[in-house]
Structure 1
Amino acid sequence: MPDPKPAPTGPVQSEALGALRVQIDAIDQQLLNLLNQRALVAEKVGEIKRAEGSPFFRPDRVAQVIEKIQTNNQGPLLNQHVASIWREIMSACLALEAPQRVAVLGPQGTFCEQAAIEFFGSAANLIYCANFDEVFHATAAGTAQYGVVGMENSTEGVVARSLDLFLRSPVHVVGEVSLLVRHNLLRQVNSLEGVEVVMAHPQALAQCQGWLSTHLPNAERRAVSSNAEGARLAATNPAWAGIASERAAAQFGLHIVSHAIQDEAYN
């Protein structure tokens, strides 16, 4: 007797699904061609700006383009997603005109980094600084064309150091980003047991003091230069924990032991 036909080892693709994927592949190629056409035009724009001495990055122009795109959007893509897509397109094209150097509080994984990417797009060249003083210095000295610092929090109010630095520095505000800040407890092991030290920026420690007093009353609270720095240090010692973003957890390979531990839900 003939051997039975072997069962397929992978997922079976229907003809209808296969046809739709062919359509998507063709549309993707069209999108790629159009994006590269846009990039070529952007390079010519950059040449003119360079000759005229015009600024390469104009937040008002970015806002105008995104607003126009959202007005013309007929769906089904949501406007917020369309805005994110176009911000990245414009960021990539701007990088061809002239890469933008942006100073942020480091290391990788800070909320300042997140704000910078939301404002400038992921094609910006980020310069990571140890503290806000360095961000201001890098921007004023021209090492960076822009800087991103925290200014205000709904729980703790104005970030005093940033305000002081603005009063003493020649830089000025060109835009703002509002972030919904979610503080998470990060650690090498997925447990609250054995936590001896919790590290974070002083603002974050203050914003989570109620949760810390309830769940880790005996742990030392150690202030560091940024939440991401606390996460970086937590990755070096199993008895240490950091308070930081999900982005920082991914960056340093840490477990999120507890999500959203800030005392105010809308931080």
Structure 2
Amino acid sequence: MYLQELREKIDSIDNQILDFLNQRMEIVKIIGDLKKQNNAIIYRPEREKEILDRLVNYNQIKSGLLNRTSIDAVFMEIFAASRNLELPERIAYLGPEGSFTHQAAESRFGYLSDYIPLKNIKSVFESVATERVRFGVVPIENNQEGFVNETIDFLNEFELNIVAEIVMPIHHTFASRSEKLSDIRYIYSKEIAFKQCKNFLDNYFKDSHTEFIPVESTSRAAKMVMEEENSAAICSGVAAKLFRVPILFEN
């Protein structure tokens, strides 16, 4: 089969996928209308998890090529499109843009939602309480510092409900506009990220003259690399994409 024939076959499959997605959205719209009539909850994360688990099992039975991560990524975007069809979503999160909280929010609500970075956890709670946004995403626990006490305090202060939990391993990326590692003179990141990535840095930069420069956030690191030649950042994947810095290494 020639390359052009294969491409035409892919185009045909893409058309079918789009047709099926539109059929799905028509059903979603009907469900949304029924929910409004009955004043039912629109966002049900347990239902989304149920769908994902079923699809992963189905994929295994069919010996599909997609892994769990790929299936989750594709269908979380479909879920986000569905929710936005029912009611457009605005999501507040603890900033800055490109932070791991931003990445966690996108992993749950997809790229289509409107994201608002806020400077502190209290502002996130206030935005949800005053209905400026539909949902807020804040850290509640991490491996380095344990429970985030500020979040716990505001959960007691504000009459809001936890609707979902996002368990997200922290995987850094190494991003740079330099094609060769030997051209990199400066690496920017948070101090803790340098410690977390010590083995990687020792393997590639131990005997080099590259400087490791701490900054206030990994998002700031990615932004600096966008503006500066011969530099690199250890940052989140979403920060690298946000500032359009090529990712050279992941995890």
Same fold (TM over 0.5): yes
Q: Which has the larger radius of gyration?
A: 1
User: What SS does the aligned partner of 1:126 have?
Assistant: strand
State the distance in 2 between where 1:244 and 1:178 align: 18
Aligned to 2:235: 244
State the distance in 1 between where 2:78 and 2:85 align: 11
Alignment of 1:36-185 (within 5 A): 36-73=22-59, 74-80=62-68, 81-183=70-172
User: For the structure 1 residues 173 and 95, does the alpha-carbon distance in structure 2 shift closer, same or farther, using more than 3 Å as the test?
Assistant: same
Contact 1:106–1:229 under 8 Å retained in 2: no
Cα shift at 1:38: 1.0
State the distance in 2 between where 1:240 and 1:32 align: 41
Aligned to 1:4: none
Cα shift at 1:32: 1.0
State the distance in 2 between where 1:71 and 1:255 align: 34
State the distance in 2 between where 1:33 and 1:106 align: 37
- List gaps (5 residues or longer) in structure 1: 1-14, 261-267
User: For the structure 1 residues 232 and 171, does the alpha-carbon distance in structure 2 shift closer, same or farther, using more than 3 Å as the test?
Assistant: farther
Letter in 1 for 2:57: T
State the distance in 2 between where 1:194 and 1:207 align: 15
Cα shift at 1:105: 2.4
User: For the structure 1 residues 168 and 209, does the alpha-carbon distance in structure 2 shift closer, same or farther, using more than 3 Å as the test?
Assistant: farther
Between the aligned residues of both structures, percent identity stands at: 28
State the distance in 2 between where 1:67 and 1:255 align: 32
State the distance in 2 between where 1:83 and 1:162 align: 27
- Number of equivalent positions: 238
State the distance in 1 between where 2:235 and 2:100 align: 8
| Correspondent of 1:31 among 17, 22, 28 | 17
Contact 1:156–1:206 under 8 Å retained in 2: no
Structure with greater proportional helix content:
2
Aligned to 1:227: 218
State the distance in 2 between where 1:242 and 1:102 align: 27
In the superposition, the TM-score normalised over structure 2's length comes to 0.75
Q: Which moved more, 1:43-52 or 1:64-73?
A: 64-73
User: What SS does the aligned partner of 1:150 have?
Assistant: coil
State the distance in 2 between where 1:166 and 1:240 align: 41
User: What SS does the aligned partner of 2:122 have?
Assistant: helix
| 2:22 maps to 1:22 | no
Q: Deviations over 1:159-212 (max 9, x none)?
A: 3332333233322322222222134577888767567xx664xxxx3454575x
Contact 2:94–2:117 under 8 Å retained in 1: yes
Q: Deviations over 1:4-46 (max 9, x none)?
A: xxxxxxxxxxx53333322222221111111111111111111
State the distance in 2 between where 1:106 and 1:147 align: 11
